[in-house]
Amino acid sequence: MSLFPNYIRQEVAFQKGEKATLWDTAGKTYLDFSSGIGVTNFGHNHPKITNALTKQAEELWHTSNLFTNPLQQEVADLLCEQSGLEAVFFCNSGAEANEAAIKLARKWAKEVKEVSNPEIICSEGSFHGRTLATLTATGQHKVKIGFDPLPKGFVHVPFQDLHAIKQVTNSQTAAVLLELVQGEGGIYPASKPFVQELAQWCQEKNILLMIDEIQTGIGRTGEKFAHQHYSIQPDVITLAKGLGNGFPVGAIVAKEDLKSILGPGTHGTTFGGNLLSMSVAKAVLYELNNPQLLLDVKAKGNYLMNRLKEELAQCSEVEEIRGIGLMVGIQLSKPVQPHIKQLLDQGLVTLPAGEKVLRLLPPLVITYDEIEEAVLRIKKAISK
């Protein structure tokens, strides 16, 4: 094998997809409740998104960010309109989006607050990426093993602990970086009172509130962006995953007064925002701009949660079922990996979130019949 062994791969290779269905190379069908780790929010082979990509591919793939790209402006306008923010930078991934947000916060703190050593407050259990800065921001020790020395400037506190945030806030504090639902950390949604009080604290102390929407954005929770559940307006949100429905694209979206911080020469990317990625993102955002879609996500998410609670009520291994929209975690008392393998054998693709949480991220276009089928397969696997 010529590949690095950094992934533990299942012995299945997928060849074709349609909405929430996958086919492997042997012709076996699977119900996809992973969405490529929360990426294919609009399902596989979505006709409008696929057409947008193939049409652009036949015209022009790439120039560079040294030239005007009208598609970038169109997608940026859509993101601003849908998020309520005003400035956009495009990149290629979630880690790059969080890197850009970290750089933005540090430069803002130095220029506006005249801070010498900016610090960013992060949460224990969080996940923000695999680059050196973003794995340092991540609140999980396992991703940091072997990569010392790590960058300075990050402080970690328990998730949803406002008192701890206040305790570590000082003259060097530049920002709070927060997932509103900890995805890799186990599907833990933050409470509305905590988030609103945190937003108020950040405003009072002139601290940037940066929301990592890599996994929660693009309709996953039943709103276009998860922060819209909380009636707050962050200073920065970071996006990727669902923004390209499988095509690599990321973005930071920020308030107007932060636009000047990343002036000419301060940050850049070769591929970010190129014609292919923007054609896809534009099609995705048009699909997202459908109010019925979001109502359906909320309804389907409630149905999935309720059916899981009904069918798994007698399973002693199940400790809790939690989530929001179509982002659901089943907390188990035992390691989850054996169940993931059992479910794959049954034709259901699922994910872990930590050692003992079964994570469900079906596409937003999932049907009620498919939800019902998935619930029964999960019950069968866990009951074993």
Helix (H, G, I), strand (E, B) or coil at 89: strand
Return all residues near 46 (Cβ < 8 A) that are at least 6 apart.
19, 245, 287, 365
Q: What is the DSSP letter of 234?
A: -
Residues 185, 281 within the same domain: yes
* Inside any domain, residue 40: no
Domain boundary residue, one of 288, 310, 339: 288
Chain CA centroid to CA 49, Å: 20
Low-confidence ranges of the chain (pLDDT < 70): none
- Distance, CA of 143 to CA of 221 (rounded, Å): 26
Q: What is the pLDDT of residue 370?
A: 98
**Do 298 and 320 share a structural domain?**
yes
312 and 299 in a single domain? The answer is yes
**In a domain? residue 38:** no
The pLDDT of residue 68 is 96
Instruction: Kindly report the CATH number assigned to the domain that includes residue 80.
Output: 3.40.640.10
**One domain for residues 211 and 342:** no
Q: What's the confidence (pLDDT) of residue 71?
A: 97
What per-residue confidence (pLDDT) applies to 1? Answer: 83
The pLDDT value given to residue 122: 98
How far, CA to CA in Å, does 1 sit from each of 5, 6, 12, 26, 244?
9, 12, 16, 21, 30
Helix/strand/coil percentages in the chain, nearest 5: 40, 20, 40
**Among 23, 17, 15, 16, CA closest to 44:** 17
